[in-house]
Structure 1
Amino acid sequence: MRKFLTVVAALVLAVVLVIGIGQWVNRGPDDSAGPGPGPGPTRTTDPEQPATCPDYQLFAAPGTWESTPEDDPIHPSSRPHSLLLNVTRPLQEEFGDGVDGGQLKTWTLPYAAQFRNIQALREMSYDDSRNQGYARLEGEMTAVHESCPATRMILVGFSQGAVLTGDLATAIGNGHSTVPADAVAGVALIADGRREDGKGNLIGSPDVTGIGAEIALSPVGALVAPIVPGASMRGPRPEGFGALQDNTLQFCAPADLVCSAPRDIGNAVQRANDLIDANKVHAEYSSNGTVVEGGTVPEWINNWVRDIIAEGR
């Protein structure tokens, strides 16, 4: 019994530390809904494309406390230290904002990005925040596809944004979304809380041995609930990314507990005392040069986006 309680304590501690990420940073729908509507639509092969439509549109979904519902999606400014600004700003400097057409338009998801917990009970719950972000992202992608059917889409998400983006990529790839899979050129998920081996392609460090926090904590969800009310630990994505499997990239620092939480009892107990310091890495993807070769994760993603555009994928 003592060993079991030690393990539970270590896992719950991981949740508490995820809550604490905000001090380092800037100070989709529930699976129970059942299967989607069936096979998704197919991208028009020879559409009439308005001149104001971009060739590509990048959708960026920021992490917890890195967005607000009223922010400007083209030129976001409410969270100046948001990690994904290191992706969108360099691309805008190179390609322009794309509002009048061109090669690339960048659009940053404005949503609550909150995480109700015992220290911030007035915030929106994680589930509600994630669902709001999912609905807004899918709605915008659907609108873009309807008005600009030849525009190719690229998705990038971080942390909570990576979870909802990964959930949407799962729905799209398995035909459960209004967005067709063949309209999506690529998906990049940074620190995905539902990351699982074999689901998408892990880029960078081979030392990532853990699993997403929502998977690791799902067996003790009832114990987590009082600490983070309204935060469902939903486990893995059973369907995987479907048609988007090969085009979905996962980025995870080995010590980041959000995407690489301990798998077993031994690791949980061993790492329990190191979680606070180790979890700083969750906020350091824009400066950590050890996750991928040749630079940081945002720099790698920017080069990946440039390659997609140059190669016409």
Structure 2
Amino acid sequence: MHSILAGLTLLAALATAKSTPGPGDLNCPSGVHVIVARASQEAPGPGIMGQVANMVLERIPGSDMECLDYPALLDPYVPSQTAGVANLITLIQKYSEKCPRTKMILMGYSQGAHVTSDVLCGTSETGFPATKPQQSTVTDKIAAVVLMGDPSFTAGQPFNVGTSHGSGIFPRLNPDGCKCVDHKMMSICDAGDMFCEKGGDSLAVHMSYVINWGDAAVDFVLSMIHSY
């Protein structure tokens, strides 16, 4: 009898251990967690990039979205962007600890793209306080990154997409910092964009990426999720 009771107790313990959620699982999405950094001058929230984020949420059940809290000011730009970098570093590091099994998708438009790329690649642009790239313990939990109109767009990067062949108004001095995420990043810049292509003069091009590249961005995210 004692051996039977002991066996039943062991089975119950194993079943409980198997069904016990991991850290944060009860409050973590079963799909992906999309973090969006809005463009300069946009009201708090996802901004124009929210259209792309919402398409991803529709395609991946059980997903949710979070918007980066930062000033998003065009003037003064550097303090605003720097605050965004600090806030996003804290956000993704804490989320990777809270929900270690949930894949993160990072999206940024314009200044939000600059913030996102600096967080991942490290800040090396002239006039901005230097930061280091994120450790693999964090980047390994990021499945895909989509950037549109990044002022730190740097020519020759393997993740560059679009018709521009130049660099942005704040090009990276150490683009190798992006190597930890270059296989899962998509940075879009078209010729004439006044921010991601130095010498460009078109705000219309800068604001056109969701219309012209939104579907491609979603397809890219889905492909990264499936290969994660």
TM-score (norm 1): 0.57
User: 1:60–1:109: 8 Å Cα contact kept in structure 2?
Assistant: yes
The answer to whether structure 1 residue 261 and structure 2 residue 207 are counterparts is no
What is the distance in 1 between the residues matched to 2:53 and 2:41? 17
Residue 135 of structure 1: aligned partner:
86
The answer to whether structure 1 residue 201 and structure 2 residue 117 are counterparts is no
User: 1:195–1:211: 8 Å Cα contact kept in structure 2?
Assistant: yes
What is the distance in 1 between the residues matched to 2:207 and 2:120? 24
What is the distance in 1 between the residues matched to 2:137 and 2:86? 12
Residue 72 of structure 2: aligned partner:
113
What is the distance in 2 between the residues matched to 1:307 and 1:250? 16
Residue 110 of structure 2: aligned partner:
159
Alignment of 1:64-83 (within 5 A): 64-68=40-44, 71=45, 82-83=47-48
Residue 51 of structure 1: aligned partner:
26
What is the distance in 2 between the residues matched to 1:312 and 1:192? 25
Match of 2:167 among 211, 233, 242: 211
Q: CA deviation at 1:257?
A: 2.1
Computing the radius of gyration from Cα coordinates, the structure with the larger value is 2
Q: Which amino acid aligns with 2:34?
A: L
Residue 302 of structure 1: aligned partner:
218
Query: Could you give the per-residue CA deviations for residues 142-187 of structure 1, whole angstroms, max 9, x where no partner exists?
Result: 1211111111221111110111101011149x75459522112122
State the 4+ residue runs in structure 1 displaced beyond 6 angstroms. none
For the structure 1 residues 251 and 175, does the alpha-carbon distance in structure 2 shift closer, same or farther, using more than 3 Å as the test?
Answer: closer
The answer to whether structure 1 residue 144 and structure 2 residue 60 are counterparts is no
What is the distance in 2 between the residues matched to 1:141 and 1:67? 22
User: 1:111–1:129: 8 Å Cα contact kept in structure 2?
Assistant: yes
Query: Could you give the per-residue CA deviations for residues 231-286 of structure 1, whole angstroms, max 9, x where no partner exists?
Result: xxxx5344430221222211011111211124xxxxxxxx7xxx3xx332112223
Q: Which amino acid aligns with 1:84?
A: M
Residue 84 of structure 1: aligned partner:
49
For the structure 1 residues 260 and 301, does the alpha-carbon distance in structure 2 shift closer, same or farther, using more than 3 Å as the test?
Answer: same
What is the distance in 2 between the residues matched to 1:283 and 1:67? 16
Query: Could you give the per-residue CA deviations for residues 17-44 of structure 1, whole angstroms, max 9, x where no partner exists?
Result: xxxxxxxxxxxxxxxxxxxxxxxxxxxx
| RMSD of equivalent CA atoms | 2.6
What secondary structure does 1:58 align onto?
A: strand
Residue 39 of structure 2: aligned partner:
63
What is the distance in 1 between the residues matched to 2:56 and 2:180? 27
Say which structure, 1 or 2, has more relative contact order (CA 8 Å, 6+ apart). Answer: 1
Gap regions ≥5 residues in structure 2? 1-20, 124-131
Residue 186 of structure 1: aligned partner:
144
Determine what percentage of the aligned residue pairs are the same residue. Answer: 25
TM-score (norm 2): 0.76
Query: Could you give the per-residue CA deviations for residues 102-147 of structure 1, whole angstroms, max 9, x where no partner exists?
Result: 3x2221212210021xxxxxxxx21111122112212111121111
User: 1:156–1:187: 8 Å Cα contact kept in structure 2?
Assistant: yes
User: 1:67–1:111: 8 Å Cα contact kept in structure 2?
Assistant: no
User: 1:67–1:110: 8 Å Cα contact kept in structure 2?
Assistant: no
More helix per residue: 1 or 2?
2
What is the distance in 2 between the residues matched to 1:298 and 1:176? 27
What is the distance in 2 between the residues matched to 1:253 and 1:204? 5
User: 1:141–1:179: 8 Å Cα contact kept in structure 2?
Assistant: no
Q: CA deviation at 1:209?
A: 2.4
Residue 6 of structure 2: aligned partner:
none
User: 1:155–1:165: 8 Å Cα contact kept in structure 2?
Assistant: yes
User: 2:85–2:115: 8 Å Cα contact kept in structure 1?
Assistant: yes
